[in-house]
Amino acid sequence: MSEQNFSIGKDEVWTVRDEDGTERTYTEVIRQAYTNMLISAGTVEGDPVDTLYISMEKEGKHAFFILMRPDEFAALAWCLTGALWSDAMAKLNKE
């Protein structure tokens, strides 16, 4: 299944075969670029458990790449949102 990555206006799809012969196809569906960092996420086909991935590149080097289940992805989003909210509230309380 191919989803259009509207953040870059094209599909980014690649396939990797692991040492054990497992072949996974990755489809990037969203990305956020900064001057020194790129964060992207998408779907994974061919993994028996994990169906999503998140990738972070810093200064041209892969800093982070992990496969996750949808519930783990949701938990990550929830934790990151909680950290942002806590940071914003702490700054507001200092004023």
Helix (H, G, I), strand (E, B) or coil at 14: strand
Position 1 pLDDT exceeds 60 = no
Where do we find the tokens 């996420």? Answer: 41
Residue 39's domain comprises 12-69
Q: Is residue 60 part of a domain?
A: yes
Number of structural domains (the chain) is 1
Name the pLDDT band for 19 (thresholds 50, 70, 90): very high
pLDDT at 7 over 70: no
Q: For residue range 41-95, list pLDDT tens digits in order.
A: 999 999 999 999 999 999 988 889 999 999 999 999 999 999 999 999 999 988 7
pLDDT at 17 > cutoff 70: yes
Task: Tell me, yes or no, whether 82 lies in a domain.
Answer: no
Q: Is residue 51 part of a domain?
A: yes
CA 25, CA 19: separation in Å to the nearest integer? 15
Assigned domain for 50 exists? yes
Write down the pLDDT at residue 78.
97
Structure confidence at residue 11 (pLDDT): 78
Domain annotation covers residue 27: yes
Model pLDDT, residue 3: 57
Q: Has residue 78 been placed in a domain? A: no
